[in-house]
Structure 1
């Protein structure tokens, strides 16, 4: 009788559980820390849309050409390379700053957040950047004026005001 060698081999390790999950306490500390450092596009949009002072300043850390292509309404334009020189003139050190750049494939917002933190600012990075702001259908400004596209159903709910998370 022949046996199937694949059937008798040890089962392949589960790639999800190959490294076991952290303890609940370690996971809670990690995720709490993550939320202290990050805000998502939908939360920033909701805070800005609520009217009044949202309690933070939004900072676009991209080049002038990128800013002209599109930026969040009310954002401060301050390219990362100019933060050390211009932040004290443009930003209130007592007010938290939310940085953004192009999107998830770019770490410009992270570099800007680091530069601001090193200057003593409280800072969060907006996950998704300008890409997800536009993809979720939020209004933005460009050199050509106000713009808004439809929400991408892969990034935002199309039949509800929020995703419920």
Structure 2
């Protein structure tokens, strides 16, 4: 594989994904984005990223997204590793005409990096663990 192919691969990957630190920074900068929890509502109620909207991927359609702002960037997440709910959410929103990125590691990595959560079992912000 050529170095050019590798550079292209990593640039494309960064075009479609965002990590917890990037999301936190984008929010601090006031970027026009919407954080989307693509899990079932019962899981959202237990714990979610503060300010996230719950749009379960199984229910996404033209009718369920008509009130959403198409000028915003939608950051989709689910539980994390072993779950493809964020990918399904991102794909469906993309097919409906929205700009999307996937939050790598989902809620799990968001919490591992020490960011707060809301919900019945939400947690306060903790010291960051990521050494990036």
Same fold at TM > 0.5? yes
Q: Is the 8 A contact 1:135 1:151 kept in 2?
A: no
Q: Structure 1, residues 128-159: CA drift from partner, whole Å, max 9, x if none?
A: 10011112111110136x5226458xxx24xx
Residues matched between the structures, number: 131
Q: Is the 8 A contact 1:135 1:149 kept in 2?
A: no
Bigger radius of gyration: 1
Unpaired segments ≥5 residues, structure 1:
1-21, 158-162
Aligned to 1:42: 21
Unpaired segments ≥5 residues, structure 2:
none
Q: Structure 1, residues 33-53: CA drift from partner, whole Å, max 9, x if none?
A: 1001000111112222x25x2
Q: Structure 1, residues 8-65: CA drift from partner, whole Å, max 9, x if none?
A: xxxxxxxxxxxxxx211111111111001000111112222x25x2221110001111
Tell me how far apart the structure 2 counterparts of residues 38 and 125 of structure 1 sit (CA, whole Å): 5
Could you tell me the TM-score, scaled by structure 1's length?
0.73
Tell me how far apart the structure 1 counterparts of residues 105 and 42 of structure 2 sit (CA, whole Å): 19
Q: Which has the higher contact order (CA 8 A, sep 6+)?
A: 2
Match status 1:31 vs 2:7: no
